[in-house]
Amino acid sequence: MKRMIGIIGGSGLYDIAGLEDARWQHLDTPWGKPSDALFTGTLGGVPLAFLPRHGRGHVHTPSTVPYRANIAALKMLGVTDVVSISACGSFREEMAPGDFVLVDQFIDRTFAREKSFFSSGCVAHVSMAHPTCAHLGADLAEAARSAGAKVHPRGNYLAMEGPQFSSVAESKMYRGWGCDVIGMTNMPEAKLAREAELCYASLAMITDYDSWHEGHGTVDITEIIATLHGNSARAKDTIAALPARLGPEHTPCPHGCDTALEHAIMTAPEARDPALVEKLKTIAARVL
């Protein structure tokens, strides 16, 4: 199976040197329009699609990002591997602003978002015990290291609703829960990628210490933006290094990401809602 890499990240990351046949593609999905057009091309002989998560100009809040449409659009294009690049705050002294974290676990505290493609009329339950693809993540971490980033090999990500930042009490509570970083966008993105049978890996770029750290004060958006700008070159170099590490062929995922729906659909075929099934064929045609 031919590989296609999908990148979901900040608007400035799509300016990647060496991307050939680059163009913007407008897509519509059964779940509406994605955050923006997708910037597609070929990098190192591997097809690649970039999707600005918040839209160019940052027009979507974390709660209004059309997560289902974003993942569906990537699946429709033929993406096999999804790489999430996002900003986060840190709950750990050793995970400092400017560092990258390869996220491997989530605590989902979001509440105002549609979190599944499935619904009444076609019910499915996928496993989220291991919500990211360790196989893809290992290559992503090495690509980031080759770009000069300090990468922490694992991290528990607290997904908050936002758009406000945490109170001091909340920040200390999440830290006490064993969370390592906090962000607003990786959920339900990771859940939907699993339902779409896509390998998904998350690279979080630390911009601040949230609000728990007495020596650093509260979150300052100007400092966040300055740190993000500092990280953007390493993020672009990380993306540029991925095709060579991953290669042009997508072999069966050893962790089962590409067969996540194998036994997940619970609704009997004769009881399924035909209209919903038709929509679901966009992301689940293999099992429908």
Catalytically active residues are: 208, 210
Distance of CA 217 to the CA centre of its chain: 28
Identity of the residue numbered 146: S
Task: Indicate the SS3 state at residue 80.
Answer: coil
Q: Which long-range contacts (CB under 8 A, 24 or more apart) does 74-77 make?
A: 74/6, 74/8, 74/38, 74/49, 74/196, 74/198, 75/196, 75/198, 75/282, 75/283, 76/27, 76/29, 76/282, 77/4, 77/6, 77/25, 77/27, 77/38, 77/40, 77/49
Q: Rounded CA gap, 208 and 97, in Å?
A: 5
Task: Indicate the SS3 state at residue 119.
Answer: strand
